[in-house]
Amino acid sequence: MTSLFSSYELGGLTLPNRMVMAPMTRVRAAEGGLATPSMAAYYAQRASAGLIVSEGVQPSLIGQSNPGTPGLHTDEQVESWRSVTAAVHTSGGRIFAQIMHGGRVSHPDTTGLQPVGPSAVAAVGDVFTPTGPQPAPMPRALDTAEVPEHALSYAEAARRAVKAGFDGVELHGANGYLISQFLSSNANLRTDRYGGSVDHRIRFAVEAATATAEAVGGERTGIRLSPGGTFWGVREAEVRDLYTALLSELAPLGLAYVHLEATTDEDTLVALRRAWPGTLVMNPVYPMGPKQTGREDADHWLDLGADLISFGRAFLANPDLVERLRRGHPLAPADETTYFQGGDTGYLTYPAHQYAA
């Protein structure tokens, strides 16, 4: 059986274990979308992970979803990230930047701009704004001629990420954000080449991934997907066919990995594992559900053929998660009240396990 603590070759990186710190929004960035010293400390504390994937980073101002999130679309943002990547590398870690375009999951009070999406269909739920939660606004449907520039924005952010010292990037194609909106059959009502059939609905994701792989190399490019997920009101028809077709189109790009969330039935996820010829990162527990990923979940998915296992809340609350799982020590619970409040409490204040002398 594959061990969670065995090494793994990912592109040009040697991961010392098969544990990935999943991307988690923490809204601790400074004004202007700048990374901070606290962010450098936060990621460095967790550098024992085989790979860290950062919180979602907007590739453009219009791509920003939440206030307080970092960007990779200005020179100042690139400079601010250098201290984060240096801190992780000095601590022996490896880090990818997750590039996240929010699409319709945004608000003019956050960006000063009307959100955009594949169609003029509002997300379901309240979005975060500088003055608190507000109903998701109606997005402006992108013209066909505009769509490629938003696909290219992932590649442009990826170039900046590499310049900032990241080892690679992960495209956020999950959880109801822009790529996921194009994959959707209810957020995407287009009748042009980007909507309707499965082949058309996957086109935006393929164009974004292709542009990014061409910009920084396939071995530095991953993508996260949530098959069948219903975040922000998205629905997907023909889930297995949709994602099988998408993986088939992505396979020639030589991507570093595909990162799947457990958002559909296990049989479908196993079928997608078989359909994907490259590295598979598996997040075994439904995101933001009642359970956080543990050792049993990880071992189960390694047995089913996953190569790497991502942990979210478990890494948030246990900076020494690798060692805790290795030694069988209990995991600390995450304090949900501190997820998005800002400041260092619930961010830098989770201690490592205290070992008896």
- Lowest-confidence region among 70-79, 181-190, 301-310, 335-344: 335-344
Query: Where along the chain do its domains lie?
Result: 8-338
Which tops the pLDDT comparison, 195 or 2? 195
Give the integer Cα–Cα distance in Å for 338 and 340. Answer: 6
**pLDDT score of 355:** 62
Give the integer Cα–Cα distance in Å for 17 and 200. Answer: 38
Mean pLDDT of 231-235: 97
Give the integer Cα–Cα distance in Å for 80 and 54. Answer: 14
Which class for 187: exposed (0-12), middle (13-18), buried (19 or more C-beta within 10 A)? buried
Mean pLDDT of 65-69: 97
Helix or strand run (H / E) with residue 223: strand 221-225
Mean pLDDT of 184-211: 98
Give the integer Cα–Cα distance in Å for 327 and 52. Answer: 21
Mean pLDDT of 324-333: 94
Mean pLDDT of 133-155: 98
For residue 145, count other CB atoms closer than 10 A to its CB: 7
- Is 177 catalytic? The answer is yes
At residue 118 the predicted structure's pLDDT band, cuts being 50, 70 and 90, is: very high
Q: SS3 breakdown of the chain: % helix, strand, coil, rounded to 5?
A: 35, 15, 50
Residue 146 has pLDDT above 80, yes or no: yes
Residue 356 has pLDDT above 60, yes or no: no
Helix or strand run (H / E) with residue 321: helix 321-327
Q: Please report, as a single letter, which amino acid is at residue 264.
A: T
Which tops the pLDDT comparison, 1 or 264? 264
CATH match for 8-338 among 1.10.490.10, 3.40.50.1110, 3.20.20.70, 3.30.470.20: 3.20.20.70
Mean pLDDT of 225-239: 97
Q: What is the mean pLDDT of the chain?
A: 96
DSSP 227-289: TT--GGG---SSHHHHHHHHHHHHGGG--SEEEEES-S-HHHHHHHHHH--S-EEEE-S-TTS
For residue 107, count other CB atoms closer than 10 A to its CB: 26
Which tops the pLDDT comparison, 292 or 254? 254
Which class for 13: exposed (0-12), middle (13-18), buried (19 or more C-beta within 10 A)? middle
Q: Helix or strand or coil: residue 116?
A: strand
**Residue 93: alpha-carbon gap to chain centroid:** 18
- In angstroms, the Cα distances linking 45 to 84, 151, 322, 324 are 11, 33, 12, 14
At residue 288 the predicted structure's pLDDT band, cuts being 50, 70 and 90, is: low
Residue 71 has pLDDT above 70, yes or no: yes
**pLDDT score of 286:** 79
At residue 357 the predicted structure's pLDDT band, cuts being 50, 70 and 90, is: very low
By the 8 A CB rule, do 314 and 321 touch?
yes
Catalytic residue, from 42, 43, 177, 257: name it.
Answer: 177
At residue 142 the predicted structure's pLDDT band, cuts being 50, 70 and 90, is: very high
**pLDDT score of 189:** 98
At residue 188 the predicted structure's pLDDT band, cuts being 50, 70 and 90, is: very high
Mean pLDDT of 318-338: 94
**pLDDT score of 3:** 95
